[in-house]
Amino acid sequence: MPLPAPSLAVLREICDNDVMAALVTNGAQILCDMGDAPSVLTVLPGPPHAASAPDPAMPLATVDDFVPLLNISTFGICNSLENPAVIAATAAAEGVFTPAPCVPEIAGPWLPPQPVAVSGVPVIDQTATCRCIWGGVVAVVDPGQVSAETDL
């Protein structure tokens, strides 16, 4: 049974305590602060994605994996008053706030890039975020990696 994903606050605390943040892989859970549901980051196989981990290797996400509806799926319902669909739905409801289906429009790459690169493209870790033009901030909730402890 998988463990529940840590909250963004827990992830930020881990990262602020000199513990190395986990690199993000295919299948990582992401969340937009204007959406009502988490989504999954899709990292397409092939260049520049690779992993040096043994099988089953997981492709590592890079700063360039931000393409809407290809890498970043919908977050359910959008609650941003900057989204034209929300504006139109609210106007149609005679001014009563009415959310609309989320169609992410990511403005640019994930930030910050990490010093590690795959085929020359910087990878991202669990502290990375990207922005939707409708005002949302997309963050990594679960990087998709599992930690294992070993006895030496």
Number of domains composing the chain: 1
* Residue 98 in this model has a pLDDT that exceeds 80: yes
Q: List the end-to-end C-alpha distance of the chain, in Å, as a whole number.
A: 26
Residue 150 lies in a domain: no
**Spatial CA neighbour of 24 closest among 151, 137, 127:** 127
Q: What digits encode the pLDDT tens for the residues 78-96?
A: 999 999 999 999 999 999 9
Residue 151 lies in a domain: no
The whole-chain average pLDDT of the chain stands at 85
Which has more pLDDT, 146 or 74? 74
Residue 66 lies in a domain: yes
Residue 76 lies in a domain: yes
Q: What digits encode the pLDDT tens for the residues 32-69?
A: 999 999 999 999 887 787 655 555 678 899 999 999 99
Provide φ and ψ at 72, rounded to 5°: -120, 110
Cα 55 to Cα 78: distance, rounded to the nearest angstrom: 38
Residue 152 lies in a domain: no
* Residue 133 in this model has a pLDDT that exceeds 90: yes
Residue 59 lies in a domain: yes
Q: What is the pLDDT of residue 4?
A: 41
Q: Three-state SS for 20?
A: coil
Residue 64 lies in a domain: yes
Range of the domain at 80: 1-12+22-143
Residue with tokens 């492709």: 59
